[in-house]
């Protein structure tokens, strides 16, 4: 018999802790009226998600828009894991001090080329779910 | 010095082959005018992505809408991997023969409970990108 699986809604603090340990997430936005999704590197800056991308790309068109940002870890064998979704408004980072602080070379961009566009997602909501094998 | 990384656009056949080997993807859609994303179990049925979900959920509202479906494998240590995105229109599966065929017990749903709603995504576009360490 298949084991039972429990869904647990995660508290915001737990979501942030999970996000802090991951380097790659998925940015979800609307492009030409169609849903779009891209894996991106990110760091947490306080509660904000900061995404690094190339200038002149889709990233340039996101300022002011509402996006979703998702990170998950799912074990395909056991079908257990977690998923955290941040929903928030995008602001392009232009403050020089912030740019220098965020330009930590350890945060290498996922895609090659010049990646000096930083987008900040200020969370409106942070939600998460964990799936675990049931005890019985 | 950080190694160089090459981006390679994937052919549709390669994208389908990658999809065929994965059990979990992410469904991207619009919910109350906001971007939404959910990890889901899926199978390929020909070139179609078939997603299994619970009735009475968000899945009920997706019939006829355009969604994105993403699967990726990214190594956080090397920042290499791949991402495939299917963009297409959702149809609820109602044909009994198809439902029986898709109800293979090996395709266990990711979330618990009754999951007898099947959504078919007929691909309009299938795109993929692979990132690899450069040779120099």
User: For residue range A58-81, what is the model confidence (pLDDT) as tens digits?
Assistant: 778 898 999 999 999 988 777 789
Structure-model confidence comparison of residues B35 and A4, the more confident one: B35
Q: Is the pLDDT of residue B47 over 50?
A: yes
> Which of A58-67, B49-58, B88-97, B117-126 has the weakest average pLDDT?
B49-58
CATH for A79: 2.30.110.10
- pLDDT value at residue B20: 94
Neighbours of B88 (CB within 10 A): 19
Q: In this predicted model, which residue has the larger pLDDT, B107 or A65?
A: A65
| B135 assigned to some structural domain | no
Does B22 map to a domain?
yes
Number of residues that make up chain B? 136
Q: Pick from B12, B14, B99, B106: which is nearest to B50 by CA?
A: B99
Calculate how close chain B gets to A97, using CA atoms only, in Å: 25
- Whether A98 has a pLDDT exceeding 70, the answer reads yes
Q: Which two tokens stand for residue B72?
A: 């990726």
Residue A57 lies in a domain: yes
- DSSP character at residue A47: T
- Any domain includes B91: yes
Does the pLDDT at position B67 exceed 60? yes
Closest-CA residue of B relative to A124 is B34
* pLDDT higher at B5 or A24: A24
pLDDT tens column, A105-124: 555 555 555 556 889 999 99
The interface predicted TM-score (ipTM) is 0.82
Inside any domain, residue B70: yes
Q: How many CB pairs under 8 A join A and B?
A: 97
Measure the CA–CA gap between B127 and B16, rounded to whole angstroms.
10
Q: Is the CB of A108 less than 8 angstroms away from the CB of B79?
A: yes
- For residue A103, the enclosing domain spans 12-128
Q: What are phi and psi of B14, to 5 degrees?
A: -65, -40
**Is A133 contained in some domain?**
no
Report the pLDDT value the prediction gives residue A112, as an integer from 0 to 100: 54
Select the residue of B7, B22, B72 nearest A112 (Cβ to Cβ): B7
DSSP A11: P
**Residue B136 neighbours by CB under 8 Å, 6+ apart:** B4
Phi and psi, residue B81, nearest 5°? 150, -155
Mean pLDDT of chain A: 83
With an 8 Å Cβ cutoff, the interface of chain A facing chain B consists of 2, 4-7, 22-24, 26, 28-30, 34-39, 41, 66-68, 70, 72, 74, 76, 79, 81, 83, 85, 87, 108-112, 131
Does A6 map to a domain? Answer: no
Residues of chain A contacting residue B76, judged by C-beta atoms under 8 Å apart: 22-24
Helix (H, G, I), strand (E, B) or coil at A5: strand
Report which of B82, B88, B94 is spatially closest to residue B118, judged by C-alpha positions. Answer: B94
CB contact under 8 A, A79 and B5: no
pLDDT for the residue numbered A69? 98
Please tell me what DSSP assigns to residue A111.
S
Q: How many domains does chain A have?
A: 1
Q: State which of A7-11, A50-54, A59-63, B75-79 shows the largest mean pLDDT.
A: A7-11
Please classify residue B53 by burial: count the beta carbons closer than 10 Å to its beta carbon, then call 0-12 exposed, 13-18 middle and 19+ buried.
buried
Distance CA B68, CA B30 (A): 10
Between B5 and B11, residue with greater pLDDT:
B11
């Amino acid at each position: 018999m298949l084991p039972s699986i429990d869904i647990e809604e995660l508290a915001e603090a737990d979501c942030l802790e999970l996000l802090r340990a991951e380097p790659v997430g998925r940015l979800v936005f609307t492009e030409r009226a169609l849903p779009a999704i891209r894996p991106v590197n990110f760091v947490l800056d306080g509660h904000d998600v900061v995404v690094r991308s190339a200038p002149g790309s889709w990233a340039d068109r996101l300022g002011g828009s509402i996006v979703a940002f998702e990170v998950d870890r799912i074990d395909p064998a056991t079908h257990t894991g977690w998923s955290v979704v941040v929903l928030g408004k995008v602001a392009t980072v232009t403050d020089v001090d912030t740019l220098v602080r965020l330009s930590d070379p350890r945060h290498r961009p996922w895609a090659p080329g010049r990646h000096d566009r930083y987008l900040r997602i200020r969370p409106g909501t942070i939600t998460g779910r964990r799936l675990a094998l049931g005890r019985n």
